Amino acid sequence: MTIQKIDLMTIRRVLTIAFVVIRLTDSYSQNVPTKQAVLNKFNFSEYSIIKDKDTIFFYVHKKENSKPTKLVLYLQGSSPDPLFTVENNNGQYSIYRWFPGDYKFLDANYYYAVIGKTGIPAISYGDLSDYSKYHQSNSLQNRVHQADLVINYVVKNLINGPDKIIVYGHSEGAPVAAKLGTINKKITHLGFWAGNALPDYFDFLLQNSKANWTKEQSDSNTYKNIKEILLSFQNITQNKNDFSAKGKNDYSAKRWWSYAEPPINNLLKIDFPIFVQVAGKDESAPVESTFIIPLEFTRLGKTNLRYEICMECDHGFEIERENGEQEGKWDSIFQEFIRWTISTENND
């Protein structure tokens, strides 16, 4: 059966955010920087795990000559981007990092790790044209499985008797973190950032309803869109193993189906401390869909939740001021998150 095509590109979640935080000014002249040179610039080391005929590449940072006893694992959003890129500008090479610089705020007690996407080179020297391997593996279950293996590897090979394992996921990484928290028993603290508590398709329906409430969309168009969204999801359930997708910005039925599991269900299974951070002006993960989180935790008598809203923030925790300038809140949110993990050490 062919999945019905509707204009999901106009309503789909933007499940990731790219951080172009550093452009190094070092000139490499005509010499292309090696992979090791790129990693050295940011003080990251590459590790790999071979599992089920596939290789998981992940990258770990620590302070020089340190012996960390804690791990912070970051789970990024959905976009199939490399972690680092090398750009050639008429023979002069610049290096970019495409994930947050949160590791800079950690002291010598912490490892910081990030996982590359399957089928996507972690260090890119040019545009990628073939995303078939990425789409074949792209699912909630696969990302959870990889993160579980990475945590276990770090605990076994890098940390002797860890005293804290912190996982935080942003956007699509948030439901990955929630599911992971129900599987890996070594995790002590969880960050669920700019994620949806209910399935993506609920957000699509909510966004259409909001457009109708605010008179941005007619009743007839809203009804038509709602029916199409529901039919699209029905078709996905009948093609849930289909990983065919085209290019970078497409999603397969396999991917949609895997993330149809409501993250709230997993969050409620967790008893160690959880830090939920959402944004009031998030057009990718509407804040309204997350209100169920504190309500359900309260109803069930669970006291391991901290729920925060940055009312002025967008999906990437940026605030657009009246003069058009952007004020980033990500760094301060991350620092508060780490302080919170310290204050709740005896609650895990």
Of 15-24, 41-50, 88-97, the poorest mean pLDDT is in: 15-24
Give the pLDDT score at 24. 42
Residue 158, pLDDT above cutoff 70: yes
Please give the structure tokens belonging to residue 98: 């495409």
Overall size of the chain counted in residues: 348
Give the pLDDT score at 126. 82
Give the C-alpha separation, 134 to 252, whole Å. Answer: 10
Higher pLDDT, 249 or 108: 108
Residue 254, pLDDT above cutoff 60: yes
pLDDT digits (tens, 9 = 90+) for 325-335: 999 999 999 99
pLDDT grade for 18, boundaries at 50, 70 and 90: very low
Helix (H, G, I), strand (E, B) or coil at 68: coil
> How much is the average pLDDT of 26-51?
85
Closest-CA residue to 122 (of 63, 180, 82)? 82
Are 270 and 238 in contact by the 8 Å Cβ rule? The answer is: no
* Residue 232: Cβ within 10 Å count: 18
Which stretches of the chain are assigned E, i.e. beta strand?
44-51, 54-61, 70-75, 84-89, 92-97, 110-115, 123-124, 164-170, 189-193, 274-279, 305-310, 318-320, 326-328
Q: Which CATH architecture has domain 15-196+264-347?
A: 3-Layer(aba) Sandwich (3.40)
Please give the structure tokens belonging to residue 144: 């959870």
Higher pLDDT, 58 or 52: 58
Give the pLDDT score at 346. 67
Give the pLDDT score at 348. 54
> How much is the average pLDDT of 174-180?
98
Residue 1, pLDDT above cutoff 50: no
* Residue 88: Cβ within 10 Å count: 13
> How much is the average pLDDT of 12-32?
47
Give the pLDDT score at 6. 41
Give the pLDDT score at 49. 97
Mean pLDDT estimate for the chain: 90
Which stretches of 108-243 are assigned E, i.e. beta strand?
110-115, 123-124, 164-170, 189-193
> How much is the average pLDDT of 26-36?
71
Give the pLDDT score at 216. 94
Give the pLDDT score at 14. 40
| Residue 40, H or E segment | helix 35-42
Give the pLDDT score at 259. 96
Residue 292, pLDDT above cutoff 50: yes
> How much is the average pLDDT of 9-19?
41
> How much is the average pLDDT of 144-162?
94
List, in order, residues 6 or more apart from 336 with CB less than 8 Å away: none
Residue 236, pLDDT above cutoff 90: yes
Are 186 and 162 in contact by the 8 Å Cβ rule? The answer is: yes
> How much is the average pLDDT of 27-51?
86
> How much is the average pLDDT of 109-128?
93
Question: What are the residue boundaries of the structural domains of the chain, listed by start?
Answer: 15-196+264-347
Give the pLDDT score at 52. 81
Are 180 and 152 in contact by the 8 Å Cβ rule? The answer is: no
Give the C-alpha separation, 85 to 120, whole Å. Answer: 12
List, in order, residues 6 or more apart from 136 with CB less than 8 Å away: 119, 243
Residue 313, pLDDT above cutoff 80: yes
Give the C-alpha separation, 227 to 232, whole Å. Answer: 9
Of 16-20, 138-142, 176-180, 267-271, the poorest mean pLDDT is in: 16-20
Give the C-alpha separation, 177 to 286, whole Å. Answer: 19
Give the pLDDT score at 326. 92
Give the pLDDT score at 345. 80
Residue 111, pLDDT above cutoff 80: yes
Residue 25, pLDDT above cutoff 90: no
> How much is the average pLDDT of 189-208?
96
CA distances in angstroms from 335 to 166, 268, 341, listed in the order given: 13, 25, 10
CA-based torsion, 308, 281, 295, 177: positive or negative: negative
pLDDT digits (tens, 9 = 90+) for 256-267: 999 999 999 999
pLDDT grade for 4, boundaries at 50, 70 and 90: very low
The identity of residue 34, as a single letter, is T
